[in-house]
A and B are shown apart, each in its own frame.
Chain A
Amino acid sequence: MISEKKIEKQIRLSDLQKGDEAHIEGFEDDEGSLVRLRDMGLHDGISLRVIKFAPLGDPIEIKTRGFYLSIRKSLANRILIKKNNGIK
């Protein structure tokens, strides 16, 4: 059980589908743009929902803390999340 959990890859925000709800579990590094997201209130434990993807596939629009934010997949790829419903 425990080793399974360790080997399992962390899910990232960019892996989610439209409509998925999740909460933030961490960030990949301490780079400036991620710190900026944290300053906007998106830190560990905060919930979010994926609203849609742009017509060309990028960026992603999410709803979090009561506002709508669009971020590029390359940034979303560095946000570790855990889905809210169902099994991980």
Chain B
Amino acid sequence: MKNQVDNIIEKNKITDEQILDTANSLRWDLGENLHDSLLESIYQDAAEISEKVVTKVDEKPRYDWDRTLDRLLTSRWTGFPIMLLMLTIIFWITISGANVPSALLASFLIDTIHPVLKDAAAYLGTPLWLDGLLIDGIYLAMAWVISVMLPPMMIFFPLFTLLEDFGYLPRVAFNLDSLFKKAGAHGKQALTMAMGYGCNAAGIIATRVIDSPRERLIAIITNNFSLCNGRWPTQILIASLFIGSMVPAALGGLVSATAVVAVALLGIVLTFVTSWFLSRTILKGEASTFSLELPPYRPPKILQTLYTSIIDRTIFVLWRAIIFAVPAGAVIWLSANVMIGDQSIGEYIVNFMDPFGLILGLNGVILFAYIIAIPANEIVIPTILMLTVMVLNASGVGEGAGVMFELDDYQTYTELFAAGGWTLLTAINLMLFSLIHNPCSTTIYTIYKETKSLKWTAISTFLPIVMGIAICFFVAQIWRIFVGAG
């Protein structure tokens, strides 16, 4: 067809108008297949160009390697176990790799710099309240977020990006699509879920790959059930203290790790259940089509990946978290140091919330800590510790009222919690609540920016917390019936 046209133009040296007329009459000859013929000639052109300029490496060896990998990663028997294995490996590398850098950062920012700042403030004659607010409250909150959040994110995000570059993630979507379809969602939600394990805010942005708005909203609302990096320390610590300690020391590590993976799997189950529920009620609609290209496997470019993942993802998310940690630090310090009568505001609030907390198998300290920790999940544990100390008026532990800190050995933790009235039920419900509560403020803000809708942001914020309260309530009741007081 194309050649015909070329010839005609060549031979007759005709004007633009004549070209258009000729085109019109030729079009009738083509009949119904105009669309296809047009496409085919575009493809033909593309193929000719590509033939001239693209150098193809000998295709056969590549092909075999790709097929073997695919057989392994997407087969009936090995596909799912390998996915579970990859999840566990990534968790394990991030957790163990982040330990040392976190401790180093904490000791630098908190043990070294903090006293320097205090001395400087004293030297400048700063009033005590300002000194406390700025340095003990705001600075410490920021230092906490950096030392606890930065190392895991710097490990998780590059790992994840390497996996992406390698080409594995479309295979995960391929494996899981059937489950997502039954839940009324889209296979690509597997990818946004995976991203959420690093940071929920990043997971929300990742939902841009889902075209259908309905399915995108489902992915956004349920992203919170992916345990973000900021919640891992809470899960690990509580699991080690309360669950791992119930078995002989040799098995302790394995048992606590299993408990954390179990919570993560529960999160996955909840994602499917909630997606199913949403697609039957407020997000009803047609299942959109799923078509996904499975790209060839590529050796990842390691240095390039490190660079882009550090700039794009890690620093960007960290920056947002710091911004939100600043007011949190101020609030913690103020609530512990502003007195009404003979009690601080913090004590009033904790006592007020205690009855409600106990019904849920938690306590007032935990509830208040979660309100304060809305900006960033990583400050939950330090806040809980600080509030427990404040409530117990324990002396000899920590640096005074309203100052966040972390204890050096597990013994002290256990004694502190026991004194605060914590039981195994409290620990379990804390792990559950950490999984099922509102997203952090960074994530809420990101949801708003992505959806531009107050309604959906509100739903994404409140649905998890309503679910969390309900689940903790039921677990507490059932526990108390079968196990007795808790």
Tell me the nearest residue of chain A to B296, going by C-beta.
A68
Q: Cβ of B36 and Cβ of A59 under 8 Å apart?
A: no
Task: Report if B177 contacts A (CB, 8 A).
Answer: yes
Please tell me if the beta carbons of B289 and A75 are within 8 angstroms of each other in the complex. yes
Give the contacts of A38-64 with B (CB-CB under 8 A).
38-39, 41, 43-44, 52, 54-59, 61
Residues of B near A57 (CB, < 8 A) are 178
Please indicate the chain A residues that have their CB under 8 angstroms from the CB of B40 in the complex.
43
B290 touches A41 (CB 8 A): no
Q: How far is the CA of A36 from the CA of B174 in the complex (A)?
A: 19
A10 CB to nearest B CB, Å: 18
Which candidate, B73-81, B247-255, B268-276, B383-391, is the interface stretch facing chain A? Answer: B73-81
Contact B39 A39 (CB under 8 A): yes
Q: Is the CB of A61 within 8 A of B291?
A: no
Q: Is the CB of A54 within 8 A of B291?
A: no
A72 / chain B contacts, CB cutoff of 8 Å: 177, 181, 289-291
A52 touches B292 (CB 8 A): no
**A41 and B293 contacting across the interface, CB-CB below 8 Å:** no
**B residues contacting the other copy or chain, number (CB 8 A):** 30
Q: Do B175 and A55 have beta carbons less than 8 Å apart?
A: yes
A33 touches B289 (CB 8 A): yes
| Docked-complex contact A70 and B178, CB < 8 angstroms | no
Contact of B294 (CB < 8 Å), options: A55, A70, A75: A70
Residues of A within 8 A of B (CB-CB), count = 25
CA distance in complex: A74, B179 (Å): 14
Q: Determine the chain A residues whose CB is within 8 A of the CB of B36 once the complex forms.
A: 38, 43-44
Is the Cβ of A55 less than 8 Å from the Cβ of B75? yes
B287 at the interface (CB under 8 A from A): yes
What does the 1/0 interface line of A24-41 toward B look like (CB < 8 Å)? 000000000100111101
* A54–B292 touching, CB < 8 Å: no
In the complex, are the beta carbons of A61 and B174 less than 8 A apart?
yes
Let me know if B198 is at the binding interface, CB within 8 A: no
CA A54 – CA B179 in complex, angstroms? 11
CA distance A59 to B291 in the complex (A): 9
**Interchain nearest-CB distance for A58 vs B (Å):** 4
Q: How far is the CB of B170 from chain A (nearest CB, A)?
A: 8
Q: Is the CB of B291 within 8 A of A55?
A: no
Interface: B301 (CB within 8 A): no
Task: For A44, list chain B residues within 8 Å (CB).
Answer: 33, 36
In Å, the complex CA distance between A52 and B69 comes to 13
Distance between A23 CB and nearest chain B CB, rounded to angstroms: 13
Of the residues A39, A52, A58, contact of B74 by C-beta under 8 Å: A52
**What CA separation (Å) do A55 and B75 show in the bound complex?**
6
Interface status of B452 (Cβ within 8 A of chain A): no
A7 CA to B33 CA, complexed, in Å: 26
Measured between beta carbons, the chain A residues less than 8 angstroms from B290 are 59, 70-72, 75
B445 within 8 A of A: no
- For B187, the chain A residues whose CB sits under 8 A away are 59
Interface residues of B in 4-43 (CB under 8 A from A): 33, 35-36, 39-40, 43
Render B149-171 as a binary contact track against A, CB cut-off 8 A, 1 for contact. Answer: 00000000000000000000010
User: Which of B33, B178, B293 meets A54, CB within 8 Å?
Assistant: B178
Bound: A68/B69 CA distance, A: 14
Within the complex, the shortest CB–CB distance from B179 to chain A, in Å, comes to: 7
**Residue from B75, B79, B181 whose CB has the most chain A CB atoms within 10 Å:** B181
B291 touches A56 (CB 8 A): no
On whether the beta carbons of B178 and A41 are closer than 8 Å, the reply is no
Interface pair B178/A58, CB less than 8 Å apart:
yes
Known: A38-B35, A43-B36, A52-B74. A58 touches B289 (CB 8 A): no
User: How far apart sit A67 and B187, CA to CA, in the bound complex (Å)?
Assistant: 20
Q: A43 to B288, alpha carbons, bound, how many Å?
A: 21
Contacts of B80 in A (CB 8 A): 55
What's the nearest-Cβ distance from chain A to residue B72, in Å?
12
Once the chains bind, are A74 and B74 in contact (CB under 8 Å)?
Answer: no
Q: Measured between C-beta atoms, what is the minimum distance from B28 to chain A in Å?
A: 20
The answer to whether A41 and B39 touch across the interface, beta carbons within 8 angstroms, is yes
Give 1 or 0 for each of A1-35: 1 = CB within 8 Å of chain B CB: 00000000000000000000000000000000100
For B77, the closest partner residue in chain A by CB is A55
A58-B39 CB under 8 A given contacts A72-B290, A74-B287: no
Residue of A nearest to B67 (CB): A51
Excluding A38-B39, A54-B175, 12 further A-B contacts by CB distance (< 8 Å) are A37-B291, A41-B39, A52-B70, A54-B74, A54-B79, A58-B177, A59-B178, A70-B291, A70-B292, A72-B289, A72-B290, A75-B289
6 interchain residue pairs of minimum CB distance: A56-B178, A33-B289, A68-B294, A43-B36, A55-B79, A58-B178
Residues of B within 8 A of A (CB): 33, 35-36, 39-40, 43, 70, 74-76, 79-80, 170, 174-175, 177-179, 181, 187, 287-296
| 8 A–B pairs (Cβ distance < 8 Å), ordered by A | A43-B36, A44-B36, A54-B174, A55-B175, A69-B292, A69-B294, A71-B290, A74-B289
